[in-house]
Amino acid sequence: MTNDWTNSTSMWASGSTTNSNLTNSTSQCSPKLQGQTGIWYGGETCLLLALLIPQTLRFHPQIFKTSLGAGFVLLAVWGAVNRCAMDVLVWHTTIAFVCLIQIAFFVYEQTLQIFRVPAVLRPIYKTHFAPLGFTPRMFRRLVGGPSRLRNLAQNQPYAIEEITPAGTSLSLLVCGRLRVSHKGEVLHTIWPGEFVDSPEFRATRIHPRQPFQVMGFEVDTINSVQFSNHTGNCRAVLGSARRVPDSTIAANTRAKGATEPCYKHWRGHVLKSDELCELYEGLRLNGITDYDYVLTGYTADRSFLERLVGIIKDLKQGNPQMVYVCDPVLGDTWDGKGSMYVPEDLLPVYRDLVLPMADVITPNQFEAELLTGRTFSTQSEAIEVMECLHARGPHTVLITSADVDGARKNDRLVVFGSRNQPGRRRERIRMEMPRISAVFVGTGDLFAAMLLAWLHRHPHDFKLACEKAVSAIQHVLHRTFHCARELAGHEKPNSAELELRMIQSKKDIEDPQVTLHASSL
């Protein structure tokens, strides 16, 4: 048996065959004998390697098919060289062709995976990342390799501290919500489009107090309160902007427009007036107080506000060209009734000390009426109120939301603007915007920041600056409302679901499409 097998192998290697007819045609095959043995063994080696490749390798299917294809190609070549083995040529060519088709399909699939968003993540991409300008390829790089959808039942834990391994991959919440809790205390909620426990993603989050940092402006921020989360109506920040090349802006935060806290619990502390002065002293001693803009918002303490006025005065003495933008957070109107959510003793400080220092103010209708002592319900009365505010100091006045001439009955709100700077013609504008039936937190903050940013970008076009600021707000609110309704289903969206979608609106903040136009008065 051994000798027969050896003889058979020898005959295959030499291109011989037991068929008498083929033996007789040795003269035809003999010119092609050189190199046939190496080709045959090379093909067999490729087939052997294909069978020995571990299936644990990442690209096992591709390597397996490539090795098979190479082996069958070599054997087909061997059959072609040995013209006496046409059946070998036909069979191996056919098998090699099938392998090549499969390899081409693998390459096609891998190429598509680079540019195609997995079906599981497609809704997240369209809702949250496409508006930011993310291409499918960028999104694929962000979410990594193969994606797996994991469904959790209600109240089923996603991870348990010190029990569930962290792993190396990121998890993206597709739908529903995850509540992160510790010892029964809810710490925060993760919403669709957010990564689960991802410090990298958290570091890129756009904070509502600094939306204009996205526009390339440097910001120095001092929090007048430092809380774990916003309380619905008592969060604030003092912000200042330092002069840098082509980037000057400030920051401000205020939670305005919530009737109840968004979260049941919050922790933190309020910055005292002495601590404010200490922080400012550190900036002053280092000589880094040459700011172009200062923007202030919510303040709940009279002594803090008085110290703030002193700081503004000192900054203006050092830089007379500095622009002070004041968002006079005093209160708002609910169901036709106005109410203050700061102590009443702050009103005379705003009226007598802050307004004379301010260059730009952004009150709502209720706040404008408090500061002037005059109510208004028509356009002409609104103009008179803005003139009264001009007389107290600010050269630019924006009444951010007003109900005049029955606008609220038609689900509309009106924005009034007036600029009366020395050396420039007086400008007055009116804008109407649709009223969204929801309570948002932080819209006043965002408006003040957007107005300041666009006034800086368009210093000689007051109308365009107002149009871009208001349009940016509308884009953010509509996107927020749409996402909140999807989360709430048939229920009314709650305050937590109505958190402003700042990250998803990054593109609209940077370059808003003007959808609301102002008319000159």
User: What does the pLDDT look like over 204-214, one tens digit per residue?
Assistant: 444 444 555 66
Between CA 239 and CA 225 the distance in angstroms is 12
Task: Assess whether 445 carries a catalytic annotation.
Answer: yes
The per-residue pLDDT for 437 is: 76
pLDDT tier for residue 43 given thresholds of 50, 70 and 90: confident
Closest CA to 359 of 392, 317, 310: 392
The per-residue pLDDT for 223 is: 82
The per-residue pLDDT for 127 is: 73
The per-residue pLDDT for 216 is: 63
Better pLDDT: 377 or 121: 377
- Ranges of H-type helices in 116-214: 122-124, 136-143, 199-203
pLDDT over 90 (residue 41): no
The per-residue pLDDT for 254 is: 33
Closest CA to 341 of 311, 298, 296, 382: 298
- Ranges of H-type helices in 25-85: 26-29, 36-52, 60-81
pLDDT tier for residue 47 given thresholds of 50, 70 and 90: confident
- Phi/psi zone of residue 423: left (φ > 0), alpha (ψ -120 to 50 degrees), beta? left
The per-residue pLDDT for 389 is: 94
- Ranges of H-type helices in 267-301: 273-285
- Phi/psi zone of residue 149: left (φ > 0), alpha (ψ -120 to 50 degrees), beta? beta
- Phi/psi zone of residue 176: left (φ > 0), alpha (ψ -120 to 50 degrees), beta? left
Q: Taking residues 421-428, what's their average pLDDT? A: 82
pLDDT tier for residue 391 given thresholds of 50, 70 and 90: very high
pLDDT digit string, tens, across residues 113-141: 555 666 767 777 777 677 777 777 777 66
Contact 47, 67 (CB under 8 A): yes
pLDDT over 70 (residue 398): yes
pLDDT over 70 (residue 246): no
The per-residue pLDDT for 26 is: 42
pLDDT over 90 (residue 383): yes
The per-residue pLDDT for 487 is: 79
CA dihedral 437, 438, 441, 442 (to 10 degrees): -30
Residues 350, 351, 352, 355, CA torsion sign: positive
Between CA 413 and CA 95 the distance in angstroms is 73
Angle between helices 379-392 and 365-372 (to 10 degrees): 60
Q: Taking residues 225-240, what's their average pLDDT? A: 54
Residue ranges covered by each domain of the chain: 2-115, 117-142+170-205, 207-520
pLDDT over 60 (residue 297): yes
The contacts found for 233-236 with CB under 8 angstroms, 24 or more apart, are 233/258, 233/261, 233/341, 234/298, 234/300, 234/341, 235/298, 236/297, 236/298, 236/299, 236/300, 236/329
Question: Out of 144-148, 422-426, 431-435, which region has the weakest mean confidence (pLDDT)?
Answer: 144-148
**β-pair type (323-326, 253-254):** unpaired
- The one-character DSSP state at 247 is B
Task: Please state which architecture CATH assigns to domain 207-520.
Answer: 3-Layer(aba) Sandwich (3.40)
The per-residue pLDDT for 150 is: 74
pLDDT over 80 (residue 305): yes
The per-residue pLDDT for 353 is: 94
How are the residues of the chain apportioned to helix, strand and coil, as percentages rounded to the nearest 5?
45, 15, 40
Angle between helices 86-115 and 136-143 (to 10 degrees): 90
| pTM summary value | 0.57
**Contacts for 107 with CB less than 8 Å, ≥ 6 apart:** none
pLDDT over 50 (residue 146): yes
Between CA 368 and CA 375 the distance in angstroms is 8
CA-based Rg of the chain, rounded to a whole angstrom? Answer: 36
Side-chain half-sphere CA neighbours of 245 within 13 A: 0
**Contacts for 423 with CB less than 8 Å, ≥ 6 apart:** none
The per-residue pLDDT for 109 is: 66
* Residue-level length of the chain: 521
Q: Name the residue with tokens 């597709």.
A: 174
Q: Average model confidence (pLDDT) for the chain?
A: 74
pLDDT over 60 (residue 179): yes
Number of H-type helices and E-type strands within the chain: 18, 18
The active-site residue out of 301, 332, 445, 508 is: 445
Better pLDDT: 322 or 238: 322
**What are residue 430's DSSP bridge partners?**
416, 519
190: its two tokens: 């993760």
